[in-house]
Copies of this chain bind each other. A is one copy, B any other.
Amino acid sequence: MYVPMSVSGVTVDPITNTPIVILKEINGDKILPIWIGIMEATAIASALENIKFARPMTHDLMKNIMETLDVKVTKVEVCDLRDNTYYALIHLLTKDGKEYAIDARPSDALALSLRVNAPIYVAEEVLIKSAKLSEEAKKSDKWEKILESLKPEDFGKYKM
Protein backbone atom coordinates (compact mmCIF):
# COMPACT_ATOMS: atom_id res chain seq x y z
CA MET A 1 0.00 0.00 0.00
CA TYR A 2 1.33 3.39 -1.02
CA VAL A 3 0.21 6.73 0.41
CA PRO A 4 0.19 9.84 -1.84
CA MET A 5 2.20 12.59 -0.15
CA SER A 6 3.64 15.98 -1.02
CA VAL A 7 6.68 17.97 0.08
CA SER A 8 5.46 20.30 2.80
CA GLY A 9 8.78 22.00 3.47
CA VAL A 10 12.39 21.83 4.53
CA THR A 11 13.51 22.54 8.07
CA VAL A 12 16.59 21.95 10.23
CA ASP A 13 16.93 19.50 13.11
CA PRO A 14 17.73 21.87 16.01
CA ILE A 15 19.89 19.25 17.76
CA THR A 16 22.00 17.83 14.94
CA ASN A 17 21.71 20.87 12.62
CA THR A 18 20.85 18.46 9.78
CA PRO A 19 18.26 19.53 7.20
CA ILE A 20 14.98 17.60 7.22
CA VAL A 21 12.46 17.39 4.38
CA ILE A 22 8.88 16.99 5.60
CA LEU A 23 6.43 14.94 3.56
CA LYS A 24 2.71 15.32 4.29
CA GLU A 25 -0.12 12.99 3.34
CA ILE A 26 -2.30 14.55 0.65
CA ASN A 27 -5.59 12.99 1.82
CA GLY A 28 -4.85 12.86 5.54
CA ASP A 29 -2.47 14.11 8.19
CA LYS A 30 0.33 11.58 8.19
CA ILE A 31 3.81 13.13 8.25
CA LEU A 32 7.19 11.75 7.24
CA PRO A 33 10.40 13.59 8.16
CA ILE A 34 13.53 12.51 6.26
CA TRP A 35 16.99 13.69 7.28
CA ILE A 36 18.91 14.79 4.18
CA GLY A 37 22.13 16.51 3.08
CA ILE A 38 22.53 20.28 2.95
CA MET A 39 22.90 20.41 -0.83
CA GLU A 40 19.85 18.20 -1.43
CA ALA A 41 17.92 20.43 1.00
CA THR A 42 18.94 23.43 -1.10
CA ALA A 43 17.83 21.63 -4.28
CA ILE A 44 14.42 20.87 -2.72
CA ALA A 45 13.95 24.32 -1.15
CA SER A 46 14.83 26.16 -4.37
CA ALA A 47 12.22 24.09 -6.25
CA LEU A 48 9.61 24.73 -3.53
CA GLU A 49 10.29 28.46 -3.61
CA ASN A 50 10.46 28.42 -7.40
CA ILE A 51 13.88 30.09 -7.39
CA LYS A 52 15.43 30.23 -10.84
CA PHE A 53 19.19 30.23 -11.22
CA ALA A 54 21.08 31.64 -14.21
CA ARG A 55 22.66 28.23 -14.81
CA PRO A 56 21.06 24.78 -14.44
CA MET A 57 21.65 23.28 -10.98
CA THR A 58 22.35 19.53 -10.84
CA HIS A 59 18.68 18.43 -10.60
CA ASP A 60 17.69 20.93 -13.30
CA LEU A 61 20.30 19.27 -15.51
CA MET A 62 18.77 15.89 -14.69
CA LYS A 63 15.35 17.23 -15.67
CA ASN A 64 16.76 18.70 -18.92
CA ILE A 65 18.40 15.38 -19.81
CA MET A 66 15.05 13.53 -19.29
CA GLU A 67 13.15 16.09 -21.36
CA THR A 68 15.72 15.95 -24.16
CA LEU A 69 15.52 12.15 -24.22
CA ASP A 70 11.70 12.30 -24.11
CA VAL A 71 11.62 10.29 -20.87
CA LYS A 72 8.85 10.96 -18.36
CA VAL A 73 9.21 10.67 -14.58
CA THR A 74 5.83 9.04 -13.84
CA LYS A 75 6.21 8.97 -10.03
CA VAL A 76 8.70 8.70 -7.20
CA GLU A 77 8.26 6.30 -4.30
CA VAL A 78 9.82 6.24 -0.85
CA CYS A 79 9.76 2.47 -0.72
CA ASP A 80 11.85 1.30 2.22
CA LEU A 81 13.47 2.21 5.53
CA ARG A 82 16.30 -0.03 6.69
CA ASP A 83 19.01 0.71 9.28
CA ASN A 84 17.87 4.33 9.55
CA THR A 85 18.25 4.78 5.77
CA TYR A 86 15.34 5.69 3.53
CA TYR A 87 15.21 4.23 0.02
CA ALA A 88 13.39 5.64 -2.98
CA LEU A 89 12.59 4.66 -6.55
CA ILE A 90 12.29 7.01 -9.54
CA HIS A 91 9.87 5.56 -12.09
CA LEU A 92 10.61 6.39 -15.73
CA LEU A 93 8.59 5.90 -18.89
CA THR A 94 10.34 6.13 -22.26
CA LYS A 95 8.63 7.34 -25.41
CA ASP A 96 8.53 3.75 -26.74
CA GLY A 97 6.59 2.66 -23.65
CA LYS A 98 9.36 1.05 -21.60
CA GLU A 99 9.19 1.42 -17.83
CA TYR A 100 12.11 1.53 -15.42
CA ALA A 101 12.46 2.01 -11.65
CA ILE A 102 15.78 3.56 -10.59
CA ASP A 103 17.16 3.23 -7.06
CA ALA A 104 17.76 6.67 -5.51
CA ARG A 105 18.11 8.52 -2.25
CA PRO A 106 14.76 10.12 -1.34
CA SER A 107 16.37 13.58 -1.42
CA ASP A 108 17.34 13.23 -5.10
CA ALA A 109 13.99 11.63 -5.97
CA LEU A 110 12.10 14.49 -4.29
CA ALA A 111 14.30 17.24 -5.77
CA LEU A 112 13.62 15.76 -9.21
CA SER A 113 9.90 15.12 -8.64
CA LEU A 114 9.33 18.78 -7.71
CA ARG A 115 10.95 19.90 -10.98
CA VAL A 116 8.92 17.59 -13.22
CA ASN A 117 5.68 17.62 -11.18
CA ALA A 118 5.79 13.87 -10.60
CA PRO A 119 3.55 12.48 -7.83
CA ILE A 120 5.18 11.23 -4.61
CA TYR A 121 4.15 8.01 -2.88
CA VAL A 122 5.35 6.60 0.43
CA ALA A 123 5.01 2.92 1.39
CA GLU A 124 2.66 2.51 4.39
CA GLU A 125 5.32 0.28 5.94
CA VAL A 126 7.84 3.14 5.82
CA LEU A 127 5.39 5.41 7.67
CA ILE A 128 4.90 2.75 10.36
CA LYS A 129 8.64 2.10 10.74
CA SER A 130 9.38 5.83 10.82
CA ALA A 131 6.75 6.42 13.54
CA LYS A 132 8.30 3.59 15.56
CA LEU A 133 11.79 5.11 15.18
CA SER A 134 10.55 8.48 16.31
CA GLU A 135 8.87 6.85 19.34
CA GLU A 136 12.17 5.18 20.23
CA ALA A 137 14.01 8.47 19.80
CA LYS A 138 11.52 10.13 22.17
CA LYS A 139 12.06 7.36 24.72
CA SER A 140 15.84 7.67 24.52
CA ASP A 141 15.30 11.41 24.79
CA LYS A 142 13.29 10.79 28.00
CA TRP A 143 16.18 8.72 29.36
CA GLU A 144 18.62 11.42 28.34
CA LYS A 145 16.58 13.97 30.29
CA ILE A 146 16.43 11.67 33.32
CA LEU A 147 20.19 11.15 33.14
CA GLU A 148 20.78 14.88 32.69
CA SER A 149 18.63 15.71 35.71
CA LEU A 150 20.70 13.46 37.99
CA LYS A 151 23.08 15.18 40.35
CA PRO A 152 26.60 13.83 41.00
CA GLU A 153 25.47 12.61 44.42
CA ASP A 154 22.78 10.49 42.74
CA PHE A 155 25.44 8.30 41.18
CA GLY A 156 26.73 5.33 43.13
CA LYS A 157 23.61 5.22 45.29
CA TYR A 158 22.68 1.79 44.07
CA LYS A 159 25.07 -1.10 44.02
CA MET A 160 24.74 -3.70 41.27
Contacts and interface: CB of A to CB of B under 8 A. Distances in A.
Given A62-B62, A69-B69, A71-B69, A56 B104 contact: yes
9 contacts: A39-B39, A40-B58, A55-B85, A56-B103, A58-B58, A58-B59, A61-B90, A65-B66, A69-B94
Contact of A105 (B55, B62, B71, B103): B55
Given A62-B65, A92-B69, A94-B69, A85 B54 contact: yes
Nearest to A100: B68
Nearest to A104: B61
A81 to B, nearest CB: 13
A69 B100 contact: yes
Interface string A81-110: 000010000101010000010111100100
Nearest to A59: B58
A117 interface: no
Interface residues of A, number: 26
Contacts of A103: 56, 64
A87 to B, nearest CB: 8
Contacts of A102: 61, 64-65, 68
Nearest to A37: B39
Contact of A108 (B61, B85, B94): B61
